[in-house]
Structure 1
Amino acid sequence: MFSRSLFTKSFRATAAVCSLLLVSGCGLFADSSDSSSSNGFNPPDLKAQSKLGTPEGQVNLINWAGYVEDGSTDPKVDWVTPFEKQTGCRVNSKVAASSDEMVKLMKSGAYDAASASGDASLRLIASGEAAPVNTDLVPNYKDVFFGLKKQDWNSYNGTMYGIPHGRGANLLMYNTQEVSPAPTSWSAVFDDASKHKGHVTAYDSPIYIADAALYLSETKPGLHIRNPYALDQQQFDAAVDLLKKQRPNVGEYWGDYLKEVSAFKSGDSVVGTTWQVIANLAASEGAKVKAVLPQEGATGWSDTWMISAKAKHPNCAYKWMNWVISPKVNAQIAEYFGEAPANIKSCDETSDPTFCDTFHAMDESYWKDIAFWTTPIEQCLDGRTNVKCVPYSDWVQAWSEIRG
């Protein structure tokens, strides 16, 4: 079950200071020419809002912890109060513990928008819970990195179904004193996992099956895996089998990343999947760790603010979506949560001048090696029409069997 735990400790990036890339006219603002490749995926024919009306006075949000901060968690962290004062829209927010919970809450009709991850977004689109978004009503959208626009997890048929919030990669972290030589491949947690039996850690979610599929796409080319979220039954069974073989070597499956920091500090975990923010925090607290992007690439996550098709306060919701990707606010959120911002101009607003370098915010070549979480559906996302792919519900069942 996908869990996003709040990062409650501040930290400064430990990477060496690098000059920020100056970008002008380099295509980073351009829209991708590709739209959703979900052939045969037919969501309800809903229309995007054509113009903004009078703000309704409030907005009800479902969000990951750390995305909607009003100073109650940390008095120094508050981008909600300025929004309320500027727009007259009072913010009511509920933290979701998982993507499944977020989908369920959106279906209740009680919420106007949600910060959906890629393992939930297609479910919301397919069920008609999420409405298309008129990006012309979100002025800051023009400054969103093109690599986040019109992607499989946030669009359909060239139409955006949300506003990108940020992105991150699932990296390989290892204890530099216990793991030698330094790993450069995901084989460290799969084929070679027995070398660190009981001290391997893995992300606790059905979507982690995609990590195994991505590894197999490079090591078992005969499986012909082109997209780790588009797996036919044979490909899916191979990924599940790999994870079942990995299971005896896993000491802990993590969802709360503060617990992963503790595990690497104590030595309970010495190698496994992680996020850049975890690696930074663990290193700042004395853990001898490094995080790398393996040679096979990696999976990753990109969150999208999606507006409910049943929204009772759509005008305030649109104002919120524009607010959270405004340069200064998006920078605040990115630094607080630990992710690359969605707005390219945010890199000029971070308090840490090295932040965007550390999180590869402006390096589009880096993100080309990241397979962002996308909800698996029967209509194969890689374009195949001669087979059915395994839907997410089966991923959930298989994950339960893997975890035991």
Structure 2
Amino acid sequence: MSLYGSMRTGVSGMNAQSNRLGTVAENIANSNTTGYKRASTEFSSMILPSGGGNYNSGGVETQVRYSISQQGGSSYTTSASDLMINGGGFFIVSGNGGQNFLTRAGSFVPDKNGNLVNTAGYTLMGYEYKAGVDPTVVVNGFDGLVPVKLADDGVVASGSTKGSMGATLPGNAATGDQHKSSLSVYDSQGNSRLLDFTYTKQAGNGVWSLTIVDRQTNTNLATQTLTFDAAGKLTPANPAPLSTAALGPFAGSGATLAPLSIDFSKTTQAGEKFETDGGTIDGSKPSKMTGFEIDKEGIVYAKYGDNLVPKFRIALANVQSPDKLQPESGNVYTQGADSGVIVTGFAGSGAFGDIKSKALENSNVDIANELTSMIEAQRNYTANSKVFQTASDLLDVLVNLKR
């Protein structure tokens, strides 16, 4: 057995405990960092060949491991742009150089340009809604991603495209009896227009006709025959929505009324007086952006008056082995050699968790465990230093034998 080998083994042990103390210090320092994942030091032995009655002491090496896949606790805020992933996945963020990273830190706020950025300055990325159509995710890359921007676009109007109107028609009505109701809709510039719904009793049992007329121009936009069974239910039971004709452009403004898809499936016939359910319609009159909302699927809506307009859908990413991701400054991660390929998707689909607005994921550091680890590292470091000191004393004895 070599005394120098014992000294080198003691030094190896002290270095290993220093590394452990370093991860403990980092964990304690980041115990309040949003989305931070605990680091730990794993030890493995280094064995040297021995034989013939001689033992060669080896040493110990360390490897830092991050518990990235372990979810932290929740804390709730009042900001709609504070986001937390409840389950698997990472937010995709972009740095100043345009490189994309993964992160669980969702404390985003709008910057001067309206882009959502977190405390480390990384910009949240997503897909833009175009003409209200849900975007398609690129599952094997970051192509198509744009910064999620919530800048005010000024006064915005949204034309109506779909709605509903249900009614209860009197079963004892005579042929030719009419009942009317109206629905307010919006043209392409947000101007309100009234559509008159006229229900006329036809000859035969349970047969009515429905006409939809634009009141201002007296234009018939659609006609539908309604037939009810003995129980007063529509036949067929789930009719396709009624499509109206487009209208316009209107003189002066040049605005148009788009074809409307009107759901009338809740219309019934009963021994009651005529009554409607009030109807519903999408679209909005001209208004400024008054705020925004983010739902659990990551859809970012801008609020214009009482209307929510989808603007972006937040993209998420994941890998086969999250704990093997490569940590970077700013609480972000890049793909590592052993992490697996990055796959992108949307919240609530596949292995991706839901997104919670007005919530943040806490650090998964347990202070009590870290303090315990710190005491253990201190004691073990002292014990290894004693090995070094003892071997050094034995060398002094060996040198002094000549005297």
TM-score normalised by the shorter chain: which range applies?
under 0.3
TM-score normalised over the length of structure 2 = 0.23
Say which structure is richer in helix: 1
Say which structure is richer in strand: 2
Q: Bigger radius of gyration, 1 or 2?
A: 2
